[in-house]
Every structure is written in structure tokens, then in C-alpha cells.
Chains A and B, each alone.
Chain A
Amino acid sequence: MGISRRKFIGGLGALALGPAMGIPGTARGASNKEFAGWPDSQSVLHDITKCIGCRKCESACHRVNHLPDPETSFEDLTVLDQKRRTDADIFTVVNRVDNILPVFVKTQCNHCLEPACASACFVKALEKTPEGAVVYNEKLCVGCRYCMVACPFNIPAYEYHKALAPRVTKCTMCHPRILEGKRPGCVEECPAGALISGTRDELLAYAWDRIRTYPERYVSHVYGEHEMGGTSWLYLSGLPFGQVGMREDLGTKSAPELTSGPLSAVPIVVGLWPVLLTGVYAISKRKEKIAEQEKQAAVADAVDQSKKQAQARMETLRKKWEQEKQSAINFEVKKALEDAAAKDPEPGQSKEDE
């Protein structure tokens, strides 16, 4: 499944800004940086063609890691025929992968150079050590199991039946032993030379050397050289890796690369969203204000108008009324004068009038 880089950036651009802005490649956190992994870190090479399915590595693993004894003893080779995977107290399993040929594959954590599990862990409980091992810190683990979701090889297991302090468990590449300068337990025990340890560079060179020397014996591929960004556990096989139960469709992109797109989009959202949203707010607020002002202006205008009209009407009314009054007075005066002129007023009568 090739997940193109273009796809990420497309997603990122749309997430952050919508189609309005073409995001340049620099948006990716680490686009220009190359990380070669820790120098001289330890690795293990598993030569599948040499594995005889004796389960000695399994028992050695249990011993050095003080794991509880399994139900069936390690001498019982019939379990090889069932497909098994790593479990809470089983860090490594050997499976027979071909019904006709005696082909066996040992499975354990591949100690990725850029571990998906560590990239996924939100408390840094998983960590790639300079020595090559990917180790787990039980003191930090919350138990979200995102590491298990993320691991492309389905390696980490969980103690589902513990109520109090369940742990994620997986192969440690015998990190404590490596620190002491010893080889991993399983490597030391392998009687067939199917497991060898050394630095990654040495083992890669050796593996390619084997392929060149015995081209009819091996497929021309070192599994783990590039898978998911490369792993510290490397594999040589005579059959195509797909046929020995190893996924060939993982791609070469490491987990942190897969998530760097969305991770880079996050801060951009924080930088731009508040600005855009405040802008939208300010615009809607301003529109509201203008609408309000216009409304007010209209109302004021209307009030003004009606006031003026009222005044004007009052004015005319008053004028008319005054006119009328005047004419009434004039009329009365005139009438009075006329009356006075017509007859002599009687003194008693006029007194009563007052």
C-alpha cells in the first residue's frame, strides 16, 4: 500500500486551510531531514532457511525473561502446526509456515528503527534505545493499547486478565543482557545458527553477501531492511516473504512519517483558526451594527419627519385659530360697537353683566 506523500500534503492542506492555499512540502515536520538510526545499534538476523523448528529459542526466551511456563512443554513440537502469535507471557513464537516443506519462522518484536508503537504511545512508555532494542516502561503505561493498534507486525500483547496493573508485553531484544555485553537469550541458544546478532550494518552486509553467494538458496530481499522504515530484526528467506507469513505490503514509510502530516497541521489550525473566526465574528458583528445604525437612522428620520410635520400642522392650526379668534374678537367688538351705537345701555343691566 503505497501511501503517497502527495496524499498527506493534500490532506494537510485541506485540513488546515481548505483548498485556498497550496501547502508547500515544507509543512512536513521532517521533510528535509534524514535519520539514519542509532549508529552501531545491535541487530539480529534470522535466517529462515536454517531454522529447524526446535523451539529452543522459545524456551531460552522464557528462561531469561522469567516468564511463566506454558501449558505444553517446549519439547512438544506439535504446537508448531498451529498458527500462534506472541502473547502476554510469550515474547516469541516459532511457526511452521509451509505444509510440505519444513519451513519455520520465528516471530518476535522487530525493533523497528522508527517504531510505530513508540510513535503511537502518548506517554513515551515505549522507546527506541541507542542499543537497538525497543523497550517498554511499565511505570508510565496507561493501557490505551494504541501501540498494539499501531504495530504493523501485530507484536505487542496485553495482560487483559489483570485487573490492577495490566502491562503491554513484548520481546525486549534482551536489552538488559545487551547492556551487559551479552547476546540475546534466543540467539545464544539457537543450535542451528538461524539467529545471529551483531550491529545492523554488519548483519546487512552479511545478509547481502549470503544472497550473492547462494542466489539459488535465497530470495533477493532482506526483510526488515526497509519495511516500515527499517527494523533491527532482519530476515533471510528461501521462499517469498509473503509465503512465509510476513506481510509484503507494509511499504517503506515509517510510522512517524505516516503521522507527520496531521501532526504538522495541528499547530497551523491553532495559528489560523482564531484569526479567521474572529474575522467572521467581527464581520457579522459589524453587519449587525450597521443594520442597527441604519435602523436607528431610519427611525430617527421618521421621528424627525413626523415631528416636523406635527409642528407644521400645529403652526397652521395655531395661525388658523388665531385668525379665527381675531375675527371673532373683531366681530364681537364690531357687534358691541354696533349695539352700543344702537341703544343707550341701562346702568343696572351692565352691572349685572359684569
Chain B
Amino acid sequence: MTDNGTHTDRKWWTPFNVIVGIILAAGAILTVMRFTQGIGAVTNLDNNNAWGLWIGFDLLCGVALAAGGYVTSAACYIFGLKRFHSAVRPAILTAFLGYALVVLALHYDVGRPWRLPYPIFVSQGTSSLLFEVGLCVFLYLTVLFIEFTPAAFEWLGLKKIRALVVKLTLILTIFGVVLSTLHQSSLGALFMIAPSKLHPLWYSGYLPVYFFISSMFAGMSMVIFESTLAHRYLSRHMDDTHHREAPGVALGFAKAAAFVMAGYLGIKLIGIAIDDHWRLLTTGWGMWYLVEVIGFVAFPALLFAMGVRERNLIFVRWAAAWTVLGIVLNRLNISVIAFNYHLPSHERYVPSLMEIGTSVFIVTLGIVIYRFITTRMPVLHEHPDYSAHSPEQKSI
């Protein structure tokens, strides 16, 4: 561990640090503004457009892209695909950070953030899908936290309590999948209450299914994408197992993602057919819909497939990044772009620079924390005392 990074006397004035410093400083200013002058002072939200970028990007995309946690741990521990083992920890960490940042972002977006525990502890509005989302996100954040603690315990050398948590792996994984299924789909179902506001091409009775299925390939692509970045910038913190397994993980997830995306395209088609929305496809909104579905689902699925056939990691990585973009586009379409499509253009919502700045700030915060943790705790490498081939690891 000791020779794995902390010893280098790194320079402080690297371009990375400078940019991060500027973003964090700007974020601090925006935070002060938001909490002293209200939401209206930093956002372009209004009475017709109550949800903007902070819900569309920070919440919806954040949760979808953090799906790598449940996908990877399910692949490894439930489906018994042991070769994904070295990918589990970074995925769990990203998921945990992702959800933590989602919750942080919600503090900016809701009017009275100190009341965020109300739905669970004070007054349960059980008829609301947002209640479902809130409850599951709260529980899942707890599950992810527990799932990640072994890394922290190894770092701190607390063997006994680590062994205890490791015993819970299977049950935590199953809880994780159940909770993820619920809130990923419920995020889509949030919009089912507003058929008169969301464009019919995006509104569907299948919205929850679309959100759940797309969260799977979102998670897988994010794992590939993230490991691409980690390999480039955090390579020295990885051990041989990680290096050796990474291409296999990428190809495995690429294969799975491509096939899930094919299925997703199928159910999207069924959704159009069942509502008889074919005619809408030739309108302007229809073109935009096709850009999303063909350009950002079908195309990367094909790219994934080619990458898998050719064993070409470059293809796979590009496809992953493209898919991540596609998920962002889809979530923004549903929550912002095709939402309130019927309003005249001057009543439509366009995020303010300060809103965008706050979102960038929160993402940056995530990257900084990720780096802090991966350069210290055994995430991208195994702790020498607890290698995967030691007897206790074998039990899971």
C-alpha cells in the first residue's frame, strides 16, 4: 500500500488541480448564493417548469449512471461471473459516490432540504412515486455504504468487522438489485402522472420498464467508461489482477450491454406500436426521437457488437462513452426537452449558466473524492492481506 502513491511528492500546480480549484471555488460561491437568496437567484426555473437541470441531470442521469454498482455486483456475486471481481469495488465506489452526490444535489434543488427525511420519518405520502424513489435511494445508499466498507476496513486494518460485512455480501447484493429495480423504474414512473405534459413519443405506460432496462446498459457503459479513465490516470494504483481482468470485464460488459440495448430497442418499438404513434415519427419531434433511439442506442449497440467481435477495446470504449451520452440525452429529453413541449417557446426552460455551473461543481466534487479514495484505499487493487484467493474470499 505504502508504495502505491502517497509517497510521491506531487506538484500542486498541475493543470488538473488548477481547473478543479477554479470549479470548486465557483461552486462554493454558487452554493452561498443558492442558500442565501433562494433557488430563483441561481436557476431559470419557473412555475411552469418546476424541474430543470438539477433534476434532469443530477438526479435522473446521476442515478442511471450509478447503476454500475448493482449490475457489477450482481454479475459477480449472483450470476457467479468471477472474472468481474476486480471491477466490483470501483463500481460500488462509483455508485456510492454517485448516489451521495445525487442526494447532495437534491439539497440544492428542493426548497427546504433540511426536511428531506420527512417523507420517510414524518409524513409518508405513499401514493407518490417520489416517495418510492426517496425511500429506495435512502435504503440503497445505506446498502452501498455497507458494501463499500470492507475497503475502508482493510485500509484501517479492522479485520474482524470486515469479515462480518463480507459475510453479508450476497444478501446486500440482492437487496441492492431489488432496490435498484424499484427506484430506477420509479424514476421513469414519476412522469406517468403527467401525460398531458410529456411528448407522447416519450410518454409511455412502459416508462418504468424503459428506465430500468436502460439503467442496466447505462451502468455497464459507465463501468467501461470509468475504467478507461482510471486506466489512463490512476494506472499506478492498479494491481496485476485488475490490469489482467480489465479487458475481459470491458468485453463482457460490452457484449451484455449490446444485447440489452437490442432488447431495449425492441421494447421501444413495441411502445410506439401499442400507442400507434407511428405518424408522430415523421414530425420534428419524431426526428429528434429517432436521433436519440437510432443515434444513441442503435449505433453504440452496433459499435459494441463490432468491438466484441473484433476484440477491439477502442471500439468498446467509444461505444461506452457514446452510450453514456445517450442516457444523458434520454433522461434530459424526458425531464426537460420533451417535457412541457406544448408550451410556446418563450415559456420553455433553458438552464442558466449558474445551474450548469452547480452541476459541473457537483460532478467535479465526485471526481476529486473518487481520486482521494482510490489513491488510498484498496479499490483498484487488492489488499495484500485479503487477496481474492484467500479462503475467506472464496466463501462468497
- Which chain A residues have a beta carbon within 8 Å of chain B's beta carbons? 1, 3-4, 6-8, 10-11, 14-15, 85-88, 116, 118-125, 140-146, 148-150, 152, 154, 156-163, 165-167, 247, 249-251, 255-256, 258-259, 261-263, 265-266, 269-270, 273-274, 277-278, 280-281, 284-285, 287-288
Contact = CB atoms under 8 A, between A and B. Distances in A.
A124 B125 contact: yes
A140 B66 CA distance: 30
B112 A165 contact: yes
Given A11-B204, A118-B127, 15 more contacts: A1-B196, A1-B200, A4-B275, A122-B124, A123-B119, A123-B125, A141-B115, A145-B111, A146-B128, A161-B37, A161-B41, A255-B193, A265-B185, A266-B132, A281-B174
A163 B38 contact: yes
Nearest to B206: A11
Nearest to A256: B127
Contact of B209 (A15, A120, A249): A15
Contact of A262 (B185, B200, B274): B185
Contacts of A278: 174
Interface in B20-68: 35-41, 43, 45-48, 50-51
B207 A11 contact: yes
B206 A14 contact: yes
B47 A148 contact: yes
A187 to B, nearest CB: 24
B123 A144 contact: no
Contacts of B326: none
B127 A149 contact: no
Given A160-B46, A259-B127, A277 B209 contact: no
B194 interface: yes
Given A148-B47, A251-B195, A284-B80, A166 B119 contact: no
B205 interface: yes
Nearest to B127: A119
B108 to A, nearest CB: 11
Contact of A284 (B78, B123, B177, B206): B78
Interface string B267-300: 1000000110000000000000000000000000
Nearest to B344: A83
Name, among A123, A166, A167, A288, the residue most crowded by chain B CB atoms within 10 Å (CB to CB). Answer: A123
A206 B49 CA distance: 37
A152 B205 contact: no
A10 B205 contact: yes
Contacts of B181: 269, 273
Contacts of B36: 163
Nearest to B211: A15
B51 A262 contact: no
Interface residues of B, number: 67
Interface of B: 35-41, 43, 45-48, 50-51, 74, 77-80, 109-113, 115-116, 118-119, 122-125, 127-132, 134, 170, 174, 177-178, 181-182, 185-186, 189-190, 192-197, 200, 203-209, 212, 267, 274-275
Nearest to A140: B123
Contact of A160 (B40, B51, B131): B40
Contacts of A166: 38-39, 111-112
Given A1-B196, A166-B111, A7 B274 contact: yes
B212 A15 contact: yes
A265 B205 CA distance: 12
Nearest to A155: B47
Given A146-B130, A161-B37, A284-B78, A273 B193 contact: no
A258 B198 CA distance: 14
Contact of A142 (B51, B118, B190): B118
Given A120-B128, A122-B119, A287-B80, A143 B189 contact: no
B193 A150 contact: yes
B115 A149 contact: no
Nearest to B136: A266
A120 B206 contact: no
Given A284-B78, A284-B80, A157 B193 contact: no
Contact of B192 (A86, A251, A258): A258
A142 B193 CA distance: 19
A160 B194 CA distance: 22
Contact of A140 (B35, B122, B131, B186): B122
Contacts of A256: 127
Contacts of B131: 122
A266 to B, nearest CB: 6
Given A10-B205, A10-B274, A270 B125 contact: no
Contacts of B189: 259, 262-263
Contact of B123 (A124, A150, A270, A281): A124
A6 B110 CA distance: 35
B38 A11 contact: no
Contacts of A287: 80
A347 to B, nearest CB: 74
Nearest to B132: A266
Contacts of B48: 85, 154
A1 B47 contact: no
A288 B180 CA distance: 27
A150 B192 CA distance: 9
Contacts of A120: 128-130, 193
A265 B208 contact: yes
B125 A163 contact: no
Contacts of A259: 127, 129, 189, 192-193
Contacts of A1: 195-196, 200, 203
Contacts of A124: 123-125
